[in-house]
Structures are given as structure tokens and as C-alpha cells.
């Protein structure tokens, strides 16, 4: 479980209190007692066009189908809406409850590009999260 890891959560807890299936990407390599910071993804582009990579005006990072083996469809990584999981929540969900499944890792280049994109969104991201992601 490290930056660039892609996972599927069958009971992802959304900020509005609802729960659903969702792929997510880990943004940081947490230090002791820090949470894992993750962002959700979607393949629902709503008939909009995006340039590959960082789209700071819309707060997304676009991966075309097949650009990464972890995303077979066109995918938006939704950056400003960050979720946190403690190490124990992550491990419990993965090993005990079996609601979190490992899919694979993004390339190191793509993971770095996502962090650079987050730097462009600094004003839209909690300062503490920003520091944990960009170090």
C-alpha cells in the first residue's frame, strides 16, 4: 500500500454518507500514525473531452483507456475530493473484511504526474493533506 496503488472498494464510504463500489488511488506514502490519502476515480466522462494528464480547471487527471493497465477504460482521477483511511482501516478492509481489493500500481511516471497536478490545485486542497502528498 503505497503512492500510486490502485484498489477497488466494494463498500466505499462517500463523504455524503452513502456507500458504494469504487476504484481509488493512493496519493501518499504515510509516515507513522498518518492516514492513507486516497482519491476516487470514475469512467463516467459525461460526454466531455479531457486532455491526457492534468486538467486543473476541472480538478481531474485523465487517463485514456489502456494508458495504465489498472484502468482499461477512459478514467478520471478526481483530485480535490480526498478521503483518508487509517492503516488499521486499510488493513482490516483488505485482509479481514475483504472489501478492499488490490488492482495494481500506476507507473511511477503517472504517480509523479498526479502529484504535480495536485501542486496546481494547492488552493483547493487541505494544507495538511497537501503536505503529506507532496513531500
Residue 96 has a pLDDT of 87
Angular region, 81: left φ>0, alpha ψ -120 to 50, beta rest: beta
Residue 47 has a pLDDT of 82
**Buried/exposed 25-40: b ≥16 CB within 10 Å, e otherwise:** bbbbbbeeeebbbbbb
Residue 69 has a pLDDT of 95
Residue 42 has a pLDDT of 95
All domains of the chain, ordered by start, with CATH? Answer: 5-134 (2.30.30.110)
CB 36 within 8 A of CB 134: no
C-alpha cell recorded at residue 42? 470514475
Distance (Å, whole) CA 102 – CA 55? 26
Distance (Å, whole) CA 20 – CA 131? 29
pLDDT < 70 stretches in the chain: none
Amino acid at each position: 500500500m503505497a503512492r500510486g496503488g490502485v484498489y477497488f472498494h466494494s463498500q466505499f464510504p462517500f463523504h455524503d454518507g452513502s456507500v458504494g463500489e469504487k476504484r481509488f488511488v493512493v496519493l501518499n506514502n504515510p509516515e507513522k500514525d498518518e492516514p492513507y490519502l486516497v482519491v476516487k476515480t470514475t469512467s463516467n466522462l459525461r460526454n466531455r473531452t479531457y486532455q491526457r494528464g492534468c486538467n486543473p480547471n476541472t480538478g481531474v487527471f485523465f487517463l485514456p483507456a489502456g494508458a495504465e493497465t489498472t484502468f482499461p477504460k477512459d478514467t478520471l482521477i478526481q483530485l480535490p475530493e480526498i478521503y483518508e483511511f487509517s492503516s488499521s482501516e486499510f488493513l482490516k478492509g483488505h485482509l479481514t473484511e475483504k472489501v478492499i481489493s488490490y488492482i495494481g500500481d500506476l507507473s511511477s511516471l503517472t504517480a509523479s504526474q498526479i502529484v504535480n497536478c495536485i501542486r496546481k490545485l494547492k488552493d483547493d486542497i487541505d494544507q495538511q493533506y497537501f503536505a503529506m502528498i507532496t513531500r
